[in-house]
Amino acid sequence: MERQEISFQLQQNEVILVPGIDLAKVLNIPIIYFGFDKSNIRKDAQVELEKVLTALNQYPKLKLEIRAHTDSRGNDAYNKALLQRRATSTLNYLVEEGIVSSRLKAQGFGETKLVNSCSNGVDCSEAEHQKNRRSEFIILD
């Protein structure tokens, strides 16, 4: 088999960062998901958080609000505590990687902003519930 050498250069795209939009959507980063009843950063989420970290390093004045969400399972008080742990876990990961904490804000929404119809009492699959256990990265001014 003949060996072939291919050389190419990637062109970096400039993006406009507008306050109020989700950085993950701008950079086409999949949603950062959490396991059921968990607040630790999963390996798949760590890969995606590295992309957020790269953007924060590239734009040193960029500030983000980390919005954490839970699914509808569990009572409201428990979910509120869980989502705060998730937001803090995400924030701490970025701070441990060198981002100054004053550039980050953590906000928990619990089950108040579900992305589907899986609210209290609705029978949903694990995959449907998973879609609600997420973090978003909203650009601040």
Query: How is the chain split into domains, by residue range?
Result: 40-110
**Separation CA 80–CA 44 (nearest Å):** 24
Confidence (pLDDT) at 81: 81
Cα 68 to the center of its chain, rounded Å:
8
Confidence (pLDDT) at 6: 67
Cα separations in angstroms, 46 against 40, 74, 106, 122: 10, 26, 17, 31
Token readout for 98 is 């060198």
Homologous superfamily, domain 40-110: OmpA-like domain (3.30.1330.60)
Q: What is the pLDDT of residues 21-57, one digit of tens each?
A: 988 888 877 666 666 777 778 787 788 888 899 999 9
Residue linked to tokens 């609000």: 65
Q: What is the pLDDT of residues 65-113, one digit of tens each?
A: 998 877 778 777 887 787 888 888 889 999 999 999 999 999 877 677 7
**Separation CA 106–CA 66 (nearest Å):** 5
Q: Does the structure show a pLDDT above 60 at 1?
A: yes
Mean pLDDT of 123-141: 82
Give the number of other Cβ atoms within 10 Å of residue 71's Cβ.
25
Residue type, 21: I
Confidence (pLDDT) at 56: 94
Q: Does the structure show a pLDDT above 60 at 10?
A: no
Q: Give 101's DSSP letter.
A: G
SS3 (DSSP) at 123:
coil
Q: Which residue has the higher pLDDT, 7 or 93?
A: 93
